[in-house]
Amino acid sequence: MTNPTQTRMKEQKTYQFPTDFWWGTASSATQMEGAAFEGGKGLNIWDYWYMQEPNRFFNGVSATEASNFYHLYEEDIALMKELGHNTFRFSISWSRLFPQGVGEVNEEAITFYNNVINCLIDHGIEPFINLYHFDMPMALQEQGGWESREVVEAYVTFAKTCFELFGDRVEKWFTHNEPIVPVEGGYLYDFHYPNVVDFKRAVQVAYHSILSSAMAIESYRDMGQSGQIGIILNLTPSYPRSQHPADLSAARIADAMFNRSFLDPSVLGTFPQELVDVLKSEDAMPQMEAGDLELIREHTVDLLGINYYQPRRVKAKASLPNPDAPFLPENLFDFYEMPGRKMNPYRGWEIYEKGIYDILINLKENYGNIPCFISENGMGVEGEERYRDENGSVQDDYRIDFIREHLKWMHQAIEEGSKVKGYHLWTFMDNWSWSNAYKNRYGFVGIDLDTQQRTVKKSGYWFKELIEAKGFTE
Ligand code: BGP
């Protein structure tokens, strides 16, 4: 007799995405370009910090060569086309365009970015350009970086110059990528230069980043540019351990500090009251000028990029923090490890696919269903060489599973009315990562660092098929 459970076919479901969905990948200048000391580029904080403390970077590897996109962009863009991309996000290196941060523009940089943009367009790939991805020009860091109002002005000049130079062909602009990360890394938790630990200074940096974004949006619109301008935020939904009021309140405050701090001003033009209350009680309100808040209120984004990697699990604070230690957001809550959580052990990040749905539904319900897209999602894995087949192609079924499970939840959100318009993987080809250098590999395309040879991984071909079919069935 046949066992009915053996013969019963698993019910198949098709996940079909809109025909005009944006499929592609994301990258950043410092992580991909290389040529850090070529083409007239000035130093940025990564070049400088590496010179000071090479031991801070995994295996002592700098971003000097990175993935050599500066020289190989034509080959790389042709490969993007082959893998079905219709969109690609990269950033303009501020210190390549303005070696001193302000003043003289570097003609070689203009040529390079024109070539990249034109090459993408020639291949039917729409360029999405981000202006700031953690890479402060060193000359401006010496003037205080984002703590300085003059640097905000310099950034606006940089932004306007980019709109003038490239805005005739580029219709999707982003003012910042994950602006909270330089705040956390550079001014709270010591993982970016300038390695300051000071809550008040961190708040000033955050405030100036938000202000600079609104000012760039104002300029974009004043210049009568025809595309859309937005910001890219890393949203990490805060889940409470329990429904106990203290756990709920811990999750709310974590959400205000890590998500709403940038999401609310960017999309609604306002700041969350819970956040303002903390800043006041810590005597950490930033310096503002008359008219700033109005400018922020009136220049919210057209489009929101969402980087989603992991959730944040939070519980009520169990013990009093050391009153003499520097104030940190975690003085107000504790992190919580969910029992049975799924992990990416290489990056130490929890994998929670439903988070992508929760973010999209939150945007739909509380942020006017702002048009958005998943601007980063991905899985960094150490030692991927061990998964290479005889042709050198990494058989990364884990990455395919990771993407597919996130796409299912994104699809569910679309069915429920979310205005999510695309999905970009982090990243196209393995690239250099801030302090982890080349430890964890994220790309659809593997790179042999000795030869700079590119080899498409199994996930790259899978993604190509998915794009051609505009979805998948399983
Ligand atoms: C995001 C950044 C990217 C990228 C990615 C992966 O926060 O926008 O620049 O690096 O995370 O993180 P990591 O490289 O630290 O593993």
- The domains located in the chain, with CATH, are 19-473 (3.20.20.80)
33 with 76: CB under 8 angstroms? no
At residue 6, the pLDDT reads 54
pLDDT of residue 169: 98
Give the angle 83-89-95 at the CA atoms, nearest 5°.
135
Q: Please tell me if the CB atom of residue 112 comes closer than 6 angstroms to any atom of ligand 1.
A: no
Closest-CA residue, ligand 1 atom 4, reads 433
Indicate if ligand 1 lies below 6 Å from the C-beta of 236: no
Give the distance (Å) from ligand 1 centre to CA of residue 346. 13
- Res 11: pLDDT: 83
384 Cβ below 6 A of ligand 1: no
- The dihedrals phi and psi of 234, each to the nearest 5 degrees, come to -90, 110
Query: Is residue 434 in contact with ligand 1, taking CB distance under 6 Å?
Result: yes
- Rounded distance from Cα 433 to ligand 1 centre (Å): 6
- Rounded distance from Cα 189 to ligand 1 centre (Å): 16
Instruction: Give the SS3 label for residue 353.
Output: coil
| pLDDT at 23 (0 to 100) | 98
The answer to whether residue 74 is catalytic is: no
Rg (CA), the chain: 22
* Pair of tokens at residue 130: 């981000």
Q: What is the mean pLDDT of each run of 10 residues along the chain (474 residues)?
A: 56 95 98 98 98 98 98 98 98 99 98 99 99 99 98 99 98 99 98 98 99 98 97 98 98 98 99 98 98 98 98 97 96 97 97 98 98 98 97 98 98 98 98 97 97 97 98 96
The CA 402 to ligand 1 mean position distance, Å, reads 16
Minimal-distance CA residue to ligand 1 atom 5: 426
> Which secondary-structure segment (H or E) carries 171?
none
CB proximity list for 260: less than 8 A, separation 6 or greater: 272, 274, 275
User: Looking at residue 4, what is its pLDDT?
Assistant: 52
CB atoms within 10 A of CB 283: 9
Active-site residue among 126, 178, 376, 384? 376
Q: Is 307 in the pocket of ligand 1 (CB under 6 A)?
A: yes
Pocket lining: 64 vs ligand 1, CB cutoff 6 Å: no
**Which of 434, 436, 440 has most ligand 1 atoms within 8 Å of CB, for mutation?**
434
Q: Measured in angstroms, how far is the CA atom of residue 236 from the centroid of ligand 1?
A: 14
pLDDT at 8: 59
Q: Answer whether 82's CB lies under 8 Å from 429's CB.
A: no
Evaluate if pTM is beyond 0.95: yes
Structure tokens at 110: 């203009």
Rounded distance between C-alpha atoms, residue 266 and residue 274, angstroms: 17
Please give the angle made by the CA atoms of 52, 53 and 55, to the nearest 5 degrees: 155
Q: Is 376 in the pocket of ligand 1 (CB under 6 A)?
A: yes
Residue 44 pLDDT: 98
Alpha-carbon 197 to chain mean position = 23
Query: 68: which residues sit within 8 A by CB, 6+ positions away?
Result: 33, 34, 35, 452
